[in-house]
Structure 1
């Protein structure tokens, strides 16, 4: 089974069609003077599930939004930080804004309703379980009446 598709040439051979993130690898160019940095992603597959890991340090659990709509998994995060300091001789105000959004087309072999997510030590981890494989029917001879 294949996992990722990218025309950018940065994904290993054999990754295509299942999780479609092609448009996001080309989305890190400055637009309107801002440079958006996307978190690194690892996707692993085993017999039971796909495991997706995002390197997203500096966020908290409440900063993330994860949803599935029509077999498209979207993970986004948004964080604002503002710091004010005022003294008699000066005032200082600093603020920052960081966000990202990544979308993946889910294959028909996974169950979008049972996705599990957790965030620990700057890593967002998602488990996307595969659907139970349909059992093969035993061979049956059909007699002609």
Structure 2
């Protein structure tokens, strides 16, 4: 049994270090910051073409980033690159101005800037109907 354990773990780590595609929905690494004026998200997506490989969308209060790193056929050799779909969803602050979100891509970093409305403009008073 003990002789089997290193072989099992070795096979598993070999699979992790192989050039097999990513599992569906692999998570994108990101960092974010929040000020009174904006919510800024920076996502690490090196080696991608923002016109073909990256999509940024907003649905309600959720900003989604979808990307795909395509597998390039190799003749022989070793590759530690990971390929496949990557995605990440982030809940936006309540006062996010979803109509004016801007995104840019430079040197492998996708940056999304979400402007924030002032506290007064973020919500609205709901009238209460009487009986």
Pick one of 72, 80, 88 that aligns with 2:62.
72
Pick one of 88, 102, 109 that aligns with 1:116.
102
- The structure carrying a bigger helix percent of its residues is 2
In the alignment, the residues of structure 2 paired with residue 109 and residue 127 of structure 1 have an alpha-carbon distance, to the nearest angstrom, of 13
**Is residue 2:27 matched to residue 1:41?**
no
Partner of 1:51: 40
Q: 1:37: Cα distance to partner? A: 4.7
Pick one of 61, 67, 81 that aligns with 2:50.
61
Q: Is 2:38–2:115's contact at 8 Å kept on the other side of the alignment?
A: yes
- The structure carrying a bigger strand percent of its residues is 1
CA 34–64 in structure 1, closer or farther in 2 if over 3 Å, else same: closer
Normalised TM-score (structure 2)? 0.62
Q: Which structure's relative contact order is higher, taking Cα pairs within 8 Å and 6+ residues apart?
A: 2
Q: CA RMSD in A?
A: 3.0
Normalised TM-score (structure 1)? 0.56
Partner of 2:112: 126
**What is the aligned length?**
98
In the alignment, the residues of structure 2 paired with residue 60 and residue 42 of structure 1 have an alpha-carbon distance, to the nearest angstrom, of 20
Per the alignment, in what secondary structure is the counterpart of residue 61 of structure 1? Answer: coil
Specify every segment of 5 or more residues in structure 1 that has no aligned partner in the other structure, as ranges: 1-29, 86-91, 136-145
Aligned counterparts, 1:9-48, within 5 A: 34-35=22-23, 37-48=26-37
Query: Stretches of 4+ moved more than 3 A in 1?
Result: 33-37
Q: 1:108: Cα distance to partner? A: 1.5
Q: 1:55: Cα distance to partner? A: 1.1
**Is residue 2:86 matched to residue 1:100?**
yes
